[in-house]
Structure formats: C-alpha cells, structure tokens
C-alpha cells in the first residue's frame, strides 16, 4: 500500500504550490481563494539513505529513485481544497473537503506565515498565523465530534442488545479508520468511564480530539518563509509553548518550485531536500540574482522545507520506517536493492514478509538481519533502515 499525505489549510496558503513543487505537477495556483476544487493526487517522495552502498552494491530501484546514495521512496500527496471556518457545517466546500481528508494517513497543515491572507484566504496585512493553526484543529475536532455524538446516540438506541460501546463507536467512526481496540485504548487513555452514556459534553469533546489526533497526526508547514514577515512570525510562533504539541517546519514552496524548474531546465544541479545547489549554466543577471537569494534561504533554513515537511509527517509524526528487502548471501534474482518499503511503527519481521507477498508471509520461517547475519524471529520489531531477508516455505 502507498501512504497518503494530505495537504490541508485555508485557501491561498500555498498548498497547490507546494504540491506542484513536490510532485512537479501543474495544478493551477492563484492569489484568490478556492483555486483548487478537486483534490489532486500525485506522487511525491520521502528520503532515506540507501542501504546499497553499505553492501558494496549499486541499486536499481523498482519505484522512486536513488540520487547520490539517497533513496527517494514514493508516497501519495493529496492537494485538498481550502478549508474555511464552519466547513463541518457545510461552509466553503464543506463536506467535499472532509471526504477527501478521510483518505489520508497524515496531514501537512500548510500555514501562510507571512500573515498576508486572512482566515478566509483573502489578502490582508498582519494576520496572526496562530489563528489559522487553532481554527484548523478546532474545525477537524468539530467534525469528529458530530460523528462521535451520532455514535453515542446509536449506542443509546441499541441498549437492548447490550452492545460493546467500542464496537458501535468504531463503526460510526469507520471513515477515520480506527478499530474498536484503538477506540477502547483512547477511551482508557483519556481516563473516561467506558460507558458513553455517562460522558458529558466536555468528555465527548476531549474524546473527539484524541481520536482526531490519533487518526490524523499533523505537521505544520510554515510556508512563505521567503518573506521577512513570515520570518518574524516564525521567531515568535515556533517557540511558543502553546504549540509544543505540534511539529513545525519552515518552508518556501516558491523556492522549491524554482529549484525544481531550474533542475528540469538543466541550469542548476539540485537534489531535492538538500541545502545547496550548483548553477551549471550562464544565466541572465536577474535570474542568477533570484537563485542567489534562494541559496541564502536554503543555507539558512537547511533546505526549502518541502522535503523536510513530508519527511517530518511520514517519519516523525506517523512513525513509519523504511525497510529494505536484502540478501544475506549477496545473490539477487532481480537485481540488488530494488525495493524499499515504508512500514508502520512497530512492524515485525513477519508483517514485513506479508508486505512482500501474502504467500511469503504465510510460509514465514524466519528473517535474517543482513547487516549482522543474525536470524530474527517472527515477532522481532524491525528498526528504521533494517535490511532483512525473509526465509519462507513459499519463496
């Protein structure tokens, strides 16, 4: 399966610009709200150091690519329509937005840190980006709460059949992809009584928020950081203790787009995500000056932030790890290090085998950690960047 990262945020923050820069697509970008109506889905990548050089191999990726020893593993990126306050009641593009959101595993909340767009995405000056961060969380929570409350009502109407509350709630919240066991964990972690009918409004709200945080983990992409106003806001907000629960990444989607364009036109050499690039052609003075400005920016912020935001979402917040199928003996039927899989946090050797193929999983005998040549059992939790050969009766 391919993981899906959703780009969310109010209109005009730069979601489509970031989407285009990351995927090199051509979705319309515009300085007016609701430029994007249908979500666009594209292929983006997250980086991990390739394991092939450690084994003196040169890799041949079956998907994605490898540049200078950096593996680019594909993920799906979804450019979702702008969200305005009241969307859960149908404002703006309302429910359309919420349906698109359901299909994502993790969110990158793109926030216009320049403060030059108001809460509805119209041009203004001096808007506090904190209002946007708050509103998006509140909007998502309100939407979860609506659905949770319907679940509680259904539970109430089924009292005669004495159902387990977590079963009814998980069914009601099924669009969010949460199992009865996970709901129960969230209820217990929130220190709530397991009987939904005893919950008051505050407790319902708390539970909705906890379920939202668990099913839609989020990174803040502080966009438009190429402007002075955004850098001032960054100083204040990224260190604000009120937002300790969030991961912030400074981003200039414009800079990434310019560098990708330059690389495509063969005037610069740039590996996405890096904090430097090389100009390889004679350029008009104006263009060169523009690139020099970007050079200063990527030097100071350690890249344009586009790759970094996607990677923070996938590795830091969602907790995925990259795992390479290996060969302990160094013999490869289809070429070395063709694949690199993203697996959920806590994935075991046996789960990895199932990911390769259900038959391989069913015949699982043991794994071999190719770095140490040691056997690993079915329940061994794999590390990030593990290189594992699976030994199975069905090979």
Ligand X SMILES: Nc1nc2c(ncn2[C@@H]2O[C@H](COP(=O)(O)OP(=O)(O)OP(=O)(O)O)[C@@H](O)[C@H]2O)c(=O)[nH]1
Q: List residues near ligand X by CB under 6 A.
A: 9, 11-17, 29-31, 33-36, 82, 121, 223-224, 226-227, 252-254
CB of 112 to ligand X, least distance (A): 7
Q: Which of 101, 183, 106, 198 is nearest to 148 (CA)?
A: 183
Could you tell me the smallest distance in angstroms from the CB atom of residue 190 to Mg ion? 35
Q: Of 394, 352, 389, 392, give the one whose Cα is nearest residue 368.
A: 389
Shorter beta-carbon distance to ligand X: residue 227 or 327? 227
State the DSSP string of 305-350.
Answer: SHHHHHHIIIIIIS--EEEEE--TTS--SS-TT---EEE-TT-BHH
Residue owning tokens 């690199």: 340
- For residues 345 and 321, the answer to whether their CB atoms sit within 8 Å is yes
Closer to Mg ion by Cβ: residue 9 or 325: 9
Distance CA 382, CA 384 (A): 7
- Closer CB to Mg ion, residue 81 or residue 106? 81
Closest separation between CB of residue 99 and ligand X, Å? 16
Report helix, strand or coil for 390: strand
How far is it, in rounded angstroms, from Cα 324 to Cα 252?
Answer: 32
Structure tokens at 360: 């391989």
Other CB atoms within 10 A of residue 161 CB = 6
Alpha-carbon distance of 53 to 193, in angstroms, equals 53
| Residue 17 touches which of ligand X, Mg ion, none (Cβ within 5-8 Å per kind) | ligand X
3-state helix, strand, coil in the chain (%, to 5): 40, 20, 40
165 binds, among Mg ion, ligand X, none (CB under 5 to 8 A by kind): none
Q: Using an 8 Å Cβ cutoff, are 315 and 321 in contact?
A: yes
Per-position DSSP letters for 88-133, written without gaps between them: GGT-TTHHHHHHHHHT-SEEEEEEETT--B-TTS-B-SS--HHHHH
Q: Which does 67 bind (CB under 5 to 8 A by kind): ligand X, Mg ion, none?
A: none
34 binds, among Mg ion, ligand X, none (CB under 5 to 8 A by kind): ligand X
Cβ-based nearer residue to Mg ion, 15 or 295: 15
Residue closer to ligand X by CB (options 31, 175) is 31
Please, what is the minimum distance in Å from the beta carbon of residue 231 to ligand X? 11
Question: Which residue, 38 or 128, has its beta carbon nearer to ligand X?
Answer: 38
Q: Which does 224 bind (CB under 5 to 8 A by kind): ligand X, Mg ion, none?
A: ligand X
Nearest distance, CB of residue 15 and Mg ion, angstroms: 5
Closest-CB residue for ligand X? 82
Q: Quick one: 305 or 336, whose CB is closer to ligand X?
A: 305
Q: Tell me whether residue 83 or residue 390 sits nearer to Mg ion (CB atom).
A: 83
Determine if residue 341 is left, alpha or beta; phi over 0 gives left, psi from -120 to 50 gives alpha, anything else beta.
beta
d(CA 63, CA 11): 33
Q: Write down the least CB distance from residue 14 to ligand X, Å.
A: 3
Q: How far is the CB of 79 from Mg ion (least distance, A)?
A: 6
Smallest distance, Å, CB 252 to ligand X? 4
* Interacting partner of 250 out of Mg ion, ligand X, none (Cβ under 5 to 8 A depending on kind): none
Chosen from ligand X, Mg ion, none, partner binding at 380 (C-beta under 5 to 8 Å by type): none
Q: With CB cut-offs between 5 and 8 Å by kind, which of Mg ion, ligand X, none does residue 47 bind? A: none
- How far apart CA 92 and CA 381 sit, in angstroms, is 44
186/199 Cα distance (integer angstroms): 14
Please give the residue ranges that form the binding site for Mg ion (CB under 5 A).
Answer: 15-16, 35-36
């Amino acid at each position: 399966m391919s993981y899906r990262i959703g780009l969310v945020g109010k209109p005009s923050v730069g979601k489509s610009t970031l989407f285009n820069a990351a995927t090199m697509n051509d979705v319309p970008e515009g300085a007016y709200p609701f430029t994007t109506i249908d979500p666009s889905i594209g292929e983006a990548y997250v980086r991990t150091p390739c394991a092939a050089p450690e084994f003196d191999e040169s890799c041949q990726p079956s998907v994605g690519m490898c540049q200078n020893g950096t593996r680019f593993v594909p993920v799906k990126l979804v450019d979702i329509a702008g969200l305005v306050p009241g969307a859960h009641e149908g404002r703006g593009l309302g429910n359309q937005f919420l349906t698109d959101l359901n299909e994502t595993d993790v969110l990158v909340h793109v926030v216009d840190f320049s403060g030059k767009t108001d809460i509805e995405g119209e041009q203004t000056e001096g808007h506090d980006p904190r209002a946007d961060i708050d509103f998006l969380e509140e909007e998502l929570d309100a939407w979860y709460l609506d659905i949770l409350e319907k679940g509680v009502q259904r539970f109430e109407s089924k009292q005669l059949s004495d159902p387990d509350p977590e079963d009814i709630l998980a069914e009601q919240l099924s669009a969010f992809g949460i199992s009865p066991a996970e709901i129960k964990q969230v209820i217990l972690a929130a220190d709530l009584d397991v009987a939904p009918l005893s919950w008051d409004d505050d407790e319902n709200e708390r539970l909705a928020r906890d379920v939202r945080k668990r099913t839609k983990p989020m990174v803040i992409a502080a966009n438009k950081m190429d402007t002075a106003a955004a850098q001032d806001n960054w100083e204040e907000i990224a260190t604000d203790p009120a937002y300790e629960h969030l991961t912030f990444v400074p981003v200039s989607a414009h800079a990434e787009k310019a560098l990708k364009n330059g690389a495509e036109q063969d005037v610069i050499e740039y590996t996405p995500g890096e904090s430097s690039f090389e100009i390889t052609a004679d350029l008009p003075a104006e263009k060169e000056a523009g690139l020099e400005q970007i050079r200063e920016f990527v030097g100071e912020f350690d890249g344009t932030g586009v790759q970094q935001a996607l990677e923070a979402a996938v590795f830091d917040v969602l907790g995925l790890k990259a795992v390479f199928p290996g060969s302990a003996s160094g013999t490869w039927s289809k070429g070395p290090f063709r694949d690199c899989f993203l697996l959920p946090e806590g994935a075991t050797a046996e789960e990895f085998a199932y990911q390769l193929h259900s038959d391989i999983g069913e015949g699982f005998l043991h794994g071999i950690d190719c770095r140490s040549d040691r056997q690993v059992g079915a329940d061994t939790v794999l590390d990030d960047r593990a290189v594992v050969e699976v030994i199975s009766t069905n090979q």
